[in-house]
Each structure stands twice: as structure tokens, then as C-alpha cells.
């Protein structure tokens, strides 16, 4: 059984908050980026590797690879799973990835999205994915850093 400590939605994937603050807070030794684009982009992977602590391993899988491989993780792999969208999380949960809690941090504003916190903007597609995740028993919190007060996303959708 995989040992996913936390799943995070963050458009930026691996950066300072992920690489330092959250890793130290949850005690992960592996950052798994589940993203169909980054899985095939060595340049983005190299840049993100620079933001990760040298004591932490990184892996870059497509959403389907994550579904297929997560159950093969070694018992000593303490996984911090990072992806860009709630739809990705929903695909993984529906595919059997044992995600129990999702930290929602950065979902950038763009045309057609409604800003619901200082760093999170959603559209109806995002809201529907969050509602489905909630029905599947996944805890959903908006929180940028560990010492910030959690907000339940369901209050906003």
C-alpha cells in the first residue's frame, strides 16, 4: 500500500513552499509530481529538482502512470503527491489512488474563473470535481502553508 502523506493542488508544482516548508511539516522523503505535461518535459523537471531538498527524491509521472504505479511504492517511501488540478486528483481517486486529504494551495485566476481565496480561483468544472471528491470521502482544505488556518473549500462552492 502506498504511503501518501498529503496530496496538494498547486499550479506551480514544486517550488519553495513545497520543497522546504511542506516537506519538513509532513516528513515526506519523496515528491511525486502527477502531471501529463511535466512527465515528458526534462527542462521543467530539472528546474523543479532544484527547488526540492537534496534529501528528498522526486518522480514525475503522468496521471495514468500514477494510477498504475502508486501501489508499487516501497513501504519506506513517504509520498507528497503534487498535481495542478482537482480534475487530476479526481481521475487518480477514481483510478484507485488512495488519496484521503487534499491541500489546495494555488489555482491561478484566468478568464471564466472566480477567485475564492487569495491564491485559489475556480470554475464550475473545478467545483464539480471538488464536490465529487467530497462525496468520495476526500478531505479538502485551502491552505498555502502549514501554520495558516485551514479553510474548507465546500464553504465556497
Enzyme catalytic residues? 15
Report how far residue 127's alpha carbon sits from residue 140's, in angstroms, rounded to the nearest whole number: 12
Angle between helices 124-135 and 86-94 (to 10 degrees): 30
Q: Is 55 helix (H, G, I), strand (E, B) or coil?
A: coil
Report how far residue 33's alpha carbon sits from residue 45's, in angstroms, rounded to the nearest whole number: 9
Amino acid at each position: 500500500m502506498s504511503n501518501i502523506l498529503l496530496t496538494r493542488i498547486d499550479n506551480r508544482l514544486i517550488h519553495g513552499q513545497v520543497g522546504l516548508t511542506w516537506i519538513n511539516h509532513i516528513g515526506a522523503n519523496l515528491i511525486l509530481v502527477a502531471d501529463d505535461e511535466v512527465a515528458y518535459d526534462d527542462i521543467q523537471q530539472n528546474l523543479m529538482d532544484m527547488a526540492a531538498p537534496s534529501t528528498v527524491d522526486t518522480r514525475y509521472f503522468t496521471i495514468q502512470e500514477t494510477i498504475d504505479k502508486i501501489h508499487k511504492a516501497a513501504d519506506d517511501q513517504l509520498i507528497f503527491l503534487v498535481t495542478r488540478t482537482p480534475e487530476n486528483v479526481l481521475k487518480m481517486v477514481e483510478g484507485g489512488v488512495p488519496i484521503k486529504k487534499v491541500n489546495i494551495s494555488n489555482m491561478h485566476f484566468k478568464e471564466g474563473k472566480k477567485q475564492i481565496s487569495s491564491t485559489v480561483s475556480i470554475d464550475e468544472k473545478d467545483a464539480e470535481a471538488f464536490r465529487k471528491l467530497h462525496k468520495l470521502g476526500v478531505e479538502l482544505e485551502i491552505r498555502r502553508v502549514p501554520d495558516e488556518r485551514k479553510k474548507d473549500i465546500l464553504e465556497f462552492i
